[in-house]
């Protein structure tokens, strides 16, 4: 699709208004919001991520790309978060301490809300207390953690270990996700499940809450 190719370029160049316009055009053409999200926005961000890794793009450019992506996500959010779905349960989610990546977490939040879960979003850079205090106060069913850095993903174990120390580990379903994680890591730190993407997070949450 020509417009999707154009969106890849515009996301790469951090052009938020262009991305917003293109999202609206795809919607008018009858695209499903989820397809726009995964095929156009996440697809474009993958290209940005590769060039970031390879030293072709730098933090300021990637920030602009992230900002453009968020503009597109904001349009899709109300469409993905349909109201009236029966409430499935409540999830507290946040990016772990030391980590400020939030696009993936925001996507998971959106999809969970769309599936009928209530979501309390803690934002980024969360110390263990944020997860535990909020999970208790909100009487959450699920604690979700996101990490995008190999240096911050071990912090997920700190949160789970603290839950064990406090004798509350089994009161919650603990789901973890983020690009550097895998199934094995999820098992090793004692999470209930590792979720490869937002769709898997929704499926897993539905399965484990039931």
89: contact with ligand B1M by CB under 6 A: no
Find the shortest distance in angstroms from Cβ 164 to ligand B1M: 19
141: contact with ligand B1M by CB under 6 A: no
* Binding region for ligand B1M (CB under 6 A) out of 2-10, 59-67, 132-140, 163-171: 59-67
Q: Give the Cα separation of 105 and 101 in Å (integer).
A: 8
Q: Give the Cα separation of 191 and 132 in Å (integer).
A: 15
Q: Give the Cα separation of 88 and 100 in Å (integer).
A: 28
Q: Give the Cα separation of 202 and 210 in Å (integer).
A: 12
Candidates 14, 16, 77, 102; binder of ligand B1M (CB under 6 A) is 102
Find the shortest distance in angstroms from Cβ 179 to ligand B1M: 4
User: 192 exposed, middle or buried (CB, 10 Å; 0-12, 13-18, 19+)?
Assistant: buried
74: contact with ligand B1M by CB under 6 A: no
122: contact with ligand B1M by CB under 6 A: no
Structure tokens at 11: 């996301």
Site string for ligand B1M, 172-191 (x = CB under 6 A): ---xxxxxx-----------
* Binding region for ligand B1M (CB under 6 A) out of 25-33, 78-86, 160-168, 197-205: 197-205
Find the shortest distance in angstroms from Cβ 38 to ligand B1M: 8
Nearer CB in complex with ligand B1M: 98/190: 98
Nearer CB in complex with ligand B1M: 134/146: 146
Q: Is the dihedral of CA 133, 161, 155, 49 positive or negative?
A: negative
Footprint of ligand B1M on this chain (CB under 6 A)? Answer: 42, 45, 48-49, 52-53, 59, 62-63, 66, 93, 98-105, 107-108, 144-146, 148-150, 175-180, 195, 197-198, 201
């Amino acid at each position: 699709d020509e417009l999707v190719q154009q969106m890849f370029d515009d996301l790469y160049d951090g052009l938020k208004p262009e991305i917003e316009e293109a999202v609206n055009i795809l919607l008018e053409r009858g695209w499903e919001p989820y397809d726009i999200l995964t095929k156009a926005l996440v697809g474009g961000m993958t290209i940005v991520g590769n060039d970031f890794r390879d030293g072709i793009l730098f933090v300021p450019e990637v920030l602009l790309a992230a900002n453009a992506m968020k503009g597109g996500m904001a349009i899709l959010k109300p469409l993905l978060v349909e109201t009236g779905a029966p409430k499935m349960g409540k999830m507290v989610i946040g990016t772990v301490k030391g980590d400020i990546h939030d696009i993936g977490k925001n996507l998971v939040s959106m999809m969970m809300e769309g599936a009928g879960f209530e979501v309390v979003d803690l934002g980024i850079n969360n110390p263990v207390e944020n997860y535990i205090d909020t999970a208790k106060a909100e009487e959450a069913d699920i604690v979700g953690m996101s990490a995008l850095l190999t240096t911050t993903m071990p912090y997920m174990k700190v949160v789970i270990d603290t839950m064990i120390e406090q004798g509350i580990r089994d009161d919650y379903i603990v789901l973890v996700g983020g690009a550097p994680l895998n199934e094995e890591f999820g098992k090793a730190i004692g999470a209930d499940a590792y979720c490869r993407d937002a769709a898997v997070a929704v499926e897993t949450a539905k399965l484990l809450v039931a």
